A and B are shown apart, each in its own frame.
Chain A
Amino acid sequence: MSRTVLVLVAAGLMAALLLIGLALPRWLLFLVTLAASHGIVSVGILVIMRGGLVSFGQGLVFAIGGYAAALSFTQLGITDVIVLILIGTAAAALVGAAVGPLLARYTGIFFGMLTLALSMVAYGVLIKSPAVGGSDGFNIPRGTLFGVRLEGAGGDYALYALAILVTGIAATAVALHTRSARGLMTRAIHGNGLRVEYLGTSVQSVMAINFTIAAALGGLGGALTIVALGHIEPTFAFWTQSGEFVFVAILAGSHSVTAVFIASLALELVRSFSNLYFPNTWQMALGLFLLAIILFLPAGIGSLWAGRRKASPSSGGETP
């Protein structure tokens, strides 16, 4: 798919979703909004995962984006949701840029465990900080958009539209990035990092930049989530939250960015319905679902319609 076509398709998809949103009931509107804001975090994981690494601590940047936006609202009195989202994204990107070069030295499981440790340290700090509500977190009232307070059904739709547009644009940017020279380098690193080094590229700087991109996306997701949810708590940084992001990324596979949002929506739907009908075994359903995907659809649900080119990149790490 050429870049122009990609941008056109993305724009078409977003426009279609905005139209569909007019017909959706409010509960589904809210669910899609959440799915989009969570999905964009998983897109960030995919950016890292294309280089052969998995971050188990994306909850860290998710929480940083969320807390930065929420505190800007309650402490600084900034109510415009677009500004809040920008603040959350910037805060997380800054943290990502700071820890990225440090993390870029690690490979495989160690990278995953270190990101997990960082997010759990953040969780531990947040839960013991009464200033930001401790383990209960705190609530954020509905924000404003261009000076209009987002309330009622109209406000819900505005948030939905905002989520679709913001995550859609961000995801398109990521899709374009993966087709750029630097983005393709990430794939080469997954194949064989040492060879890439010999060709004169710094693996560490590529991975550090990928991590920063992922952090920015995580912060974006976090800020968008608190704007829609109206609440934030330390569990944003807990490892189960990070696990869910990885879950969605694996479910989607690295072939298609659209698949991530579909997977994210699937997770939100499964969660809502399971909570309703079999509250005690929904984790089990999730586990079986994950196993089935890994077993029968190793390249994710995205491989159903995209990337039928060659062998899946997940098995491409072997040395020939």
Chain B
Amino acid sequence: MQLALTILMDGLIYASWLFVVALGLTLVFGVLKILNIAHGSLYAIGAYVAASMVTLFASWGLGGHFALIAMLLAAIGVALVMGPLMERYLLRLFYGRDEVVLLLVTYALFLILEDAVKLIWGVNPYYVSEPYQLFGNVAFASLFYVGYDFALIGLAVVCGIAVWFALNRTRSGKVVLAVIFSREMSASMGVNVDKVHMIAFTLGIFLAALGGAFTAPMISVQPGISVSVIIVSFAVIIIGGLGSIEGAAIGAVIVGLARAAAVHLMPEAELFSIYLVMAAVLIFRPEGLFQRAAARKI
């Protein structure tokens, strides 16, 4: 019982930031039909910039809760710089090509960003653990948890609801849905599709950077974090069904629980428990859990 609860809590905490990152990935795929491998690099850049910003803020005497603002600013900054740059000057050149070609373009981008990060921040790990203590410890069912972990779950819920609400309950969100449904038709109805693409892409990047920025205090920020994150978030959105918000949420929880269960019950299986779950889901639901059946065009 105690063990089940521990697995549940660990799984949810892991799922929280993973959901934020995967949400960005699934949003970009939904609107632009691009499976962005470089998403993991943006997560890493978010984490690096956040680490630098928190240190910078601290040097200005703005410690404590200002660190949270620093992390948020880091994510916004990364998104505003990288989003339009990548979408407008790179990805746009390849629109209309095969999905696989676009996948390789983002793979190339991933390789480039990976080295760029090493050039800027070096290869030594960064630690910014001060914000991790901000919310103290919480006693929960005879176990102690760090309050920050709960704050992360809150952040994930807020992000999920915000994106869902914006898409389904606002006018501009419905325009985005229209573009997802049919690019040509919305363009002929007067929607500025280019603009929608750029905004959606930037928002996706923001979510990746946000996930990176807010996990920076929990991990050592070092080269290689992008790889593990992108592979796991792929698994999440593949399990949930590409382009589905609910799918990303369920997928993140499934992956989080699978990993937590593996860590506690069979530590040697940690690495591939996630892929095992993904393969299992794909065998029974070839297009993920939440994918609607699409008409086959002849």
Contacts and interface: CB of A to CB of B under 8 A. Distances in A.
The judgment on whether A and B are partners is yes
Interface of A: 52, 54, 102, 105-106, 108-110, 112-114, 116-118, 120-121, 123-125, 127-128, 192, 194-195, 239, 243, 246-247, 250, 280-284, 286-288, 290-291, 294-295, 298, 314-315, 317, 319
6 smallest CB-CB distances across A and B, nearest first, come from A124-B272, A287-B111, A284-B115, A287-B112, A290-B108, A117-B275
Main secondary structure of the interface of A (DSSP, over half): helix
22 contacts: A54-B100, A54-B103, A109-B238, A109-B242, A113-B282, A114-B278, A116-B234, A117-B279, A117-B282, A124-B269, A128-B268, A192-B298, A246-B104, A247-B104, A247-B107, A281-B119, A283-B115, A284-B116, A286-B111, A291-B112, A314-B101, A317-B98
Contacts of B108: 286-288, 290-291, 294
B62 interface: no
A314 B118 contact: no
Contact of B235 (A117, A123, A192, A195): A117
A102 B93 CA distance: 35
B287 interface: yes
A283 B112 contact: yes
Given A116-B275, A294-B104, A314-B98, 18 more contacts: A102-B283, A105-B286, A108-B100, A114-B279, A114-B282, A117-B279, A118-B275, A121-B272, A121-B279, A124-B269, A194-B297, A280-B119, A282-B115, A284-B112, A287-B109, A287-B111, A287-B115, A291-B109
A247 B286 CA distance: 26
Interface of B: 35, 90, 93-94, 97-101, 103-105, 107-112, 114-116, 118-119, 231, 234-235, 238, 242, 268-269, 271-272, 275-276, 278-279, 282-283, 286-288, 296-298
- Residue in B110, B118, B238 whose Cβ sees the most chain A Cβ within 10 Å: B238
A128 to B, nearest CB: 4
B287 A125 contact: no
Contacts of B93: 295
Contacts of B278: 113-114, 117
Contacts of A282: 115
Contacts of B109: 287, 291
B97 A314 contact: yes
Given A117-B278, A239-B231, A291-B105, A280 B269 contact: no
B114 A283 contact: yes
Contacts of A195: 298
Contacts of B100: 54, 108-109, 112
Contacts of B114: 283-284
A128 B100 CA distance: 32
Contacts of A319: 297-298
A102 B279 CA distance: 11
B104 A250 contact: yes
Contacts of B269: 124, 128
